[in-house]
Structure 1
Amino acid sequence: MVHRSLGQSTPELASGFLPPPPSPCSACHLGEREDIEEAAKLRAPALEPRGLFAVRMSRRRSGSCCGASLRAAFLTLTVALSTVLGNCSVDVSSSNELFASSSSSTAFSRPARAEQLLVSSSLTTERTRRIPLMSVEQELDAARAAIQRSARRRRRVDPGRGGGNVTTADTWFDAGVEHALVASVYRNPAAFHRSYREMEKRFKVYVYEEGEPPILHAGPCKNIYTIEGRFIEQLELMAPPQGGRRGGGARSGVRTSDPARAHAFFLPFSVSKMVQFAYRPNTYDTTPLRAIVADYVRVVASRHPYWNRSAGADHFMLSCHDWGPEASRGHPELHANGIRALCNANTSEGFRPGQDVSVPEINLYTGDMPRQLLAPAPPLASRPFLAFFAGGRHGHARDLLLRHWKGRDPDVFPVYEHSHGQKDGPLDYYTSMRRARFCLCPSGYEVASPRVVEAMYAECVPVILSNGYALPFADVLQWEAFSVAVPVADIPRLREVLERIPAPEVERLQRGVRLVKRHFMLHQPPERLDMFHMIMHSVWLRRLNLRLDR
C-alpha cells in the first residue's frame, strides 16, 4: 500500500504556542527586586501600551549568566526596532558597544516613546498571531456551557403559554413552522439550535491524507452504500478556510488543514471498497478488511501524535456496508474508543447509541435523487393506499411480511415481492410510495433500510419494522412524532395496527415527516441542516459528550 506522507512539525509550532524561555540560574534571582523596581521607574505612567516588554537591566557584569541573557535580549530588541523603523541593515558591533556601556552603568537611556510604541505593536501582534485564543478543549467547554444554558431556558418555559423559547428568530431553522410541531419533533429545539450554531462556529475536522484511492479517500456513490461515498467525497472536496478563518458552517466548511486545531479526526477508508477489492467472494472471511483497518490506524498513529493522545476517542470512521462494524474490530482501540458512524446501527450487535453514530441509508441507482421524489408530494386525501411495500425476501422481517401480506389486498394494502417497479410490474415503485399513507420499512439481513429515507422524500409516514435498530439523529429528533414503530412479532397484525391510527394523528405524523425531510436530503455542495451536516452534528455531540434531551 502506498501512503502519502505529511511533514511533521515541531510540537511548539503544531500547537501554535511559543516555546517557554530558558530558566535562569539561581544567581540571577538575587537582584530580581532591584530589576523590577528599576523597570518600574522607566515605565511611562499612562501612555505605555499593554504588552510592552520592559528590559530588566542588571548591575552585574556581562560575564555572568544573567548578563549573557540580557545581552541576547538587548540584541533581539535592537534587531526588532531597526526592522520596524525601516533600518534593514543592523550594525551588531555598535549594538554590542551600546549594550556594554549600558550594562556597566546604573541605568540605561530610554528609547523614544514613539519607538517603544512601535516595538510594542510589532511584538504584541506577532504573539497574537501565533498564540490561539482558545484551545480545542476550551472551545468544547464554551460550547457545552452555551448549549446547557439554552436547554435550561427551554425547560423553564411553560408549554401552555405559547411555547416561549421553543423556536428561534433564525429563519433557516423554523420560519413558518407552528411552534407545537417543532416542540413535538425536536427533543429540545432551543438546545439543538444552539448546538448547531456552535458547531458552525467552532467544529473542525482533520482528514488524514495518508493512503490512496480506491480504498482510501473514495467510496461508492451509485448503489445502496451511496452515503459512504458521498460523505467521504464531500469532506475531501471541502477546502480548509484560508488564513485560519474559523466558523461559517456550510459557507467555509468543517474541514481544517491544521490538526492542532481539530476537534475530531476522520479516517477516510471505505469498507465498501475494501469488500470490492480485498474480499474473496463467497468466503465470508472479513480478515482482509480488519487487516486494512489495523494497518491504516498503525500508519496514522506512527506519523501523528493525535491517535495516541486520546487512544482514538476523538477519531471517527463512516461505513454503510453491512460489515462496517466487523471491519472496525481490526483495531481494538478503534472498536472500543472510536466514534463509528454506521448504517448498520444494530444495538444487539454492539452498536452504542451514546458513542457511535447512526447514519441513514439510501439507494441512489444513478447517483442522483429520483425525479419522482423531487416533485411536490400529494396530500393525504390523494393517497388511496393504506400502506405499501415492494422488495426481496431476505431477512426474517421481510420473509414474515411477505408470507402474511403478499398479494392479499393490492387495492388498499399492496405488498409485492421483487416484480414491483419492473417493466412488467403493476406500478412504478416511487409512484406507489407517493400514493400511500404509510410506507413499510422492514429490516433486511441488517437493521437499516433505504426505504426509511425514500418514504420521507415521498412524505409517506415510515413504519419501522425492526428489532434493535438505533434510528438516525435520535439525539435530536423524536421519531415517534413522524414515524410508527411496530415490533417484528406484530407483523401478522400490521394492518390492524395501522387502521387504528386516527386520521388527525396520521396528518400530524405527515407534517412531522415534512418538517424533518430536510435532514435526510443530499446536496452538492452540502447545505445547512442536510444529511451531511446532521451526520457531522452527531459526531459533534459525541465530542461534546452531551445529550440534548429535555
Structure 2
Amino acid sequence: MLCSAGDVLEDDPVGRLKVFVYELPSKYNKKILQKDPRCLTHMFAAEIYMHRFLLSSPVRTLNPEEADWFYTPVYTTCDLTPNGLPLPFKSPRMMRSAIQLISSNWPYWNRTEGADHFFVVPHDFGACFHYQEEKAIERGILPLLQRATLVQTFGQQNHVCLKESSITIPPYAPPQKMQAHLIPERTPRSIFVYFRGLFYDVGNDPEGGYYARGARAAVWENFKDNPLFDISTEHPTTYYEDMQRAVFCLCPLGWAPWSPRLVEAVIFGCIPVIIADDIVLPFADAIPWEEIGVFVAEKDVPNLDTILTSIPSDLILRKQRLLANPSMKQAMLFPQPAQPGDAFHQVLNGLARKLPHDKSIYLKSGEKILNWTAGPVGDLKPW
C-alpha cells in the first residue's frame, strides 16, 4: 500500500543515508556569521542550523567514499541590511567560489557535476538569488547548481526558481520564543479569522497589486470591517496567544511561501487558510496540508467569508485534531538541540527517499554537462 503524506513524518533517517560535509574556509560560513549574529534569528537561518546539525549528526560520515550525499556549507543569506533583510547580490559569486573550491580539492563534484550534492539556499527565490521575482526569473537558478538538489523555502509549481528535485522547507521560526507563549490547550477559540501583518508594501507597491500577488490587499479591502475577521497591521504583544484563540489563521502567501505565519499556525493549532496559487508547501510529501489546511484560490479572496463559514463543524474539528498531533508541529521547527522528527530530520528523510542514485548521474570520462561561464557576467568575478 502506498504511504500518504503524514505516514512518513516519524521516519528515522539514521541508517538510511550518509552525508559528507565539506570543510570549507571559515570565510564561507562562520566568519560571515561573526560579522552579523542577527543571521541566527532571521527566517532564513536554516542554512546555519542545518550546518551545525550535520556536523554532529549520526548520518555524517568522515569517509567521502561511503557518502550518499555531499553537503557544502555556504551562508548565502547572511549579508543583512540595517533592517535585517538579506541582500543576495554577492551570493552567486560566493556559491561559484565554493563550488570551484570543492571541485578542485576533492574528486566528488567532478564525478557527477553536483548530482549527488545538496545545498541549502533559503532565500526568497532560492538559488535564483534575487528578491524581486522579475529579476529572479531573468537570472534563473545559478547554472552550476542545475544538477544539485536544492533545499529551499521557496516553492511554486512551474516556476524557473524551483527544480522538481528540490526539497521545500519551512522558514526558521525561533522555537523557544513560540513555546514561551503556549496557553492551556482547552482555551476556547473565540476568534473566527485572524491575521496580523502588512497588506501593502507602501514603499514599493502602494497599490497592492504586486505584494503577495495582491492577496493581502484583497483581504483588507474586502474584510476590514467584517466582524468575523480580526485583521490588522498592528502587531500586539499577545500575537501568539491570539493565534491560539483563533479557528482560522490567514496565510496570504502570494509568492512568499517562506512566511513564518504558516509555521506559527501549525504550532498553535490554528487552521491555516492558504491563499497562494500553485504553491509547493514545506515537506509536502510528509505533511498532509490538504487535510490540515484550507486552500483558497487568489481570485476567490472576495468570497472568503462565505467559504470559511460554510465549512462543516465536524471537518473543522478533524483539522484541529490533526493539528494537535505533536509530530505535525515538530516537523515545522529547527530546534537546538535537534529532536526526532523535526525539520532537520525531515530534510534527511527527503534526501533518503531520493536514494539510491540512478547510475546515469555519473559522468563518462571527459563528459561535461555544466557550463562554467554561463550566467550574468557579474557572477563570474572572483569572490
TM-score bin (small chain) = 0.7 to 0.9
Per the TM alignment, residue 465 of structure 1 is displaced from its structure 2 partner at its CA by 0.9
Question: 1:283-327, CA deviations, whole angstroms, 9 ceiling, x for partnerless residues?
Answer: x99553211111110110111111111111111111222153213
Per the TM alignment, residue 433 of structure 1 is displaced from its structure 2 partner at its CA by 0.4
Distance 1:495 1:437 in 2: 13
RMSD (CA atoms): 3.0
Q: Select which of 206, 229, 239 maps to 1:413.
A: 229
Kindly indicate whether the alpha-carbon contact (under 8 Å) linking 1:343 and 1:361 is maintained by their aligned counterparts in 2. yes
Aligned to 1:196: 11
Aligned to 2:23: 209
Find out whether 1:528 has 2:368 as its counterpart.
Answer: no
Aligned to 1:539: 351
Find out whether 1:391 has 2:197 as its counterpart.
Answer: yes
Aligned to 1:378: 186
Partner SS for 1:200: coil
Per the TM alignment, residue 523 of structure 1 is displaced from its structure 2 partner at its CA by 2.5
Distance 1:217 1:233 in 2: 14
Find out whether 1:326 has 2:134 as its counterpart.
Answer: no
Distance 1:356 1:470 in 2: 10
Distance 1:326 1:341 in 2: 13
Partner letter of residue 110 of structure 2? N
Find out whether 1:303 has 2:111 as its counterpart.
Answer: no
Q: Select which of 234, 242, 245 maps to 1:432.
A: 242
Kindly indicate whether the alpha-carbon contact (under 8 Å) linking 2:183 and 2:244 is maintained by their aligned counterparts in 1. no
Kindly indicate whether the alpha-carbon contact (under 8 Å) linking 2:275 and 2:297 is maintained by their aligned counterparts in 1. yes
Distance 1:285 1:530 in 2: 28
Partner letter of residue 385 of structure 1? I
The structure-2 alpha-carbon separation of the partners of 1:506 and 1:450, relative to structure 1 and needing over 3 Å to count, comes to: same
Distance 2:88 2:118 in 1: 20
Kindly indicate whether the alpha-carbon contact (under 8 Å) linking 1:447 and 1:468 is maintained by their aligned counterparts in 2. no
Per the TM alignment, residue 518 of structure 1 is displaced from its structure 2 partner at its CA by 2.4
Aligned to 2:366: none
Question: 1:459-489, CA deviations, whole angstroms, 9 ceiling, x for partnerless residues?
Answer: 1111111122211111223211111111111
Distance 1:200 1:347 in 2: 30
Kindly indicate whether the alpha-carbon contact (under 8 Å) linking 1:325 and 1:344 is maintained by their aligned counterparts in 2. no
Find out whether 1:498 has 2:316 as its counterpart.
Answer: no
The structure-2 alpha-carbon separation of the partners of 1:521 and 1:331, relative to structure 1 and needing over 3 Å to count, comes to: closer
Aligned to 1:158: none
Distance 2:63 2:157 in 1: 35
Kindly indicate whether the alpha-carbon contact (under 8 Å) linking 1:290 and 1:330 is maintained by their aligned counterparts in 2. no
Distance 1:376 1:539 in 2: 37
The structure-2 alpha-carbon separation of the partners of 1:353 and 1:501, relative to structure 1 and needing over 3 Å to count, comes to: farther
Partner letter of residue 190 of structure 2? P
Write out aligned runs for 1:270-309 (5 A). 270-273=75-78, 275-276=79-80, 288-309=90-111
Find out whether 1:231 has 2:41 as its counterpart.
Answer: no
Aligned to 1:96: none
Partner SS for 2:11: helix
Find out whether 1:460 has 2:298 as its counterpart.
Answer: no
Distance 1:267 1:324 in 2: 15
The structure-2 alpha-carbon separation of the partners of 1:212 and 1:323, relative to structure 1 and needing over 3 Å to count, comes to: farther
Kindly indicate whether the alpha-carbon contact (under 8 Å) linking 1:216 and 1:269 is maintained by their aligned counterparts in 2. no
Per the TM alignment, residue 222 of structure 1 is displaced from its structure 2 partner at its CA by 1.1
Aligned to 2:168: 358
The structure-2 alpha-carbon separation of the partners of 1:337 and 1:397, relative to structure 1 and needing over 3 Å to count, comes to: same
The structure-2 alpha-carbon separation of the partners of 1:217 and 1:457, relative to structure 1 and needing over 3 Å to count, comes to: farther
Aligned to 1:71: none
Aligned to 1:53: none
Per the TM alignment, residue 436 of structure 1 is displaced from its structure 2 partner at its CA by 0.5
Kindly indicate whether the alpha-carbon contact (under 8 Å) linking 2:126 and 2:162 is maintained by their aligned counterparts in 1. no
Per the TM alignment, residue 406 of structure 1 is displaced from its structure 2 partner at its CA by 2.4
Partner SS for 1:347: coil
Question: 1:244-287, CA deviations, whole angstroms, 9 ceiling, x for partnerless residues?
Answer: xxxxxxxx6221111111111111111211x339x9x99x9955
Kindly indicate whether the alpha-carbon contact (under 8 Å) linking 1:377 and 1:459 is maintained by their aligned counterparts in 2. no
Partner letter of residue 258 of structure 2? A
Bigger relative contact order, structure 1 or 2 (CA pairs below 8 A, ≥6 apart): 2
Per the TM alignment, residue 533 of structure 1 is displaced from its structure 2 partner at its CA by 0.4
Per the TM alignment, residue 403 of structure 1 is displaced from its structure 2 partner at its CA by 2.1
Distance 1:370 1:188 in 2: 23
Kindly indicate whether the alpha-carbon contact (under 8 Å) linking 1:216 and 1:268 is maintained by their aligned counterparts in 2. no
Kindly indicate whether the alpha-carbon contact (under 8 Å) linking 2:172 and 2:333 is maintained by their aligned counterparts in 1. no
Question: 1:433-465, CA deviations, whole angstroms, 9 ceiling, x for partnerless residues?
Answer: 011111111115523311111011111111111
Per the TM alignment, residue 214 of structure 1 is displaced from its structure 2 partner at its CA by 6.1
Identity of aligned residues (%): 27
In the alignment, structure 2 segments of 5+ residues that lack a partner are 34-38, 130-138, 202-210, 359-383
Partner SS for 1:202: coil
Kindly indicate whether the alpha-carbon contact (under 8 Å) linking 2:28 and 2:98 is maintained by their aligned counterparts in 1. no
Kindly indicate whether the alpha-carbon contact (under 8 Å) linking 2:47 and 2:75 is maintained by their aligned counterparts in 1. yes
Aligned to 2:206: none
Kindly indicate whether the alpha-carbon contact (under 8 Å) linking 2:20 and 2:63 is maintained by their aligned counterparts in 1. yes
Kindly indicate whether the alpha-carbon contact (under 8 Å) linking 1:217 and 1:268 is maintained by their aligned counterparts in 2. no
Kindly indicate whether the alpha-carbon contact (under 8 Å) linking 1:436 and 1:460 is maintained by their aligned counterparts in 2. yes
Q: Select which of 330, 340, 343 maps to 2:150.
A: 340
Partner letter of residue 378 of structure 1? R
The structure-2 alpha-carbon separation of the partners of 1:497 and 1:479, relative to structure 1 and needing over 3 Å to count, comes to: same
Write out aligned runs for 1:124-143 (5 A). none
Q: Which has the higher Rg, Structure 1 or Structure 2? A: 1
Distance 1:224 1:285 in 2: 13
Kindly indicate whether the alpha-carbon contact (under 8 Å) linking 1:373 and 1:457 is maintained by their aligned counterparts in 2. no
Aligned to 1:131: none
Per the TM alignment, residue 205 of structure 1 is displaced from its structure 2 partner at its CA by 0.9
Q: Select which of 228, 234, 254 maps to 2:59.
A: 254
Distance 1:290 1:332 in 2: 10
The structure-2 alpha-carbon separation of the partners of 1:402 and 1:269, relative to structure 1 and needing over 3 Å to count, comes to: same
In the alignment, structure 1 segments of 5+ residues that lack a partner are 1-153, 156-182, 239-251, 423-427
Kindly indicate whether the alpha-carbon contact (under 8 Å) linking 2:127 and 2:142 is maintained by their aligned counterparts in 1. no
Per the TM alignment, residue 408 of structure 1 is displaced from its structure 2 partner at its CA by 2.8
Distance 1:407 1:257 in 2: 60
The structure-2 alpha-carbon separation of the partners of 1:375 and 1:205, relative to structure 1 and needing over 3 Å to count, comes to: farther
The structure-2 alpha-carbon separation of the partners of 1:322 and 1:352, relative to structure 1 and needing over 3 Å to count, comes to: closer
Distance 1:436 1:288 in 2: 41
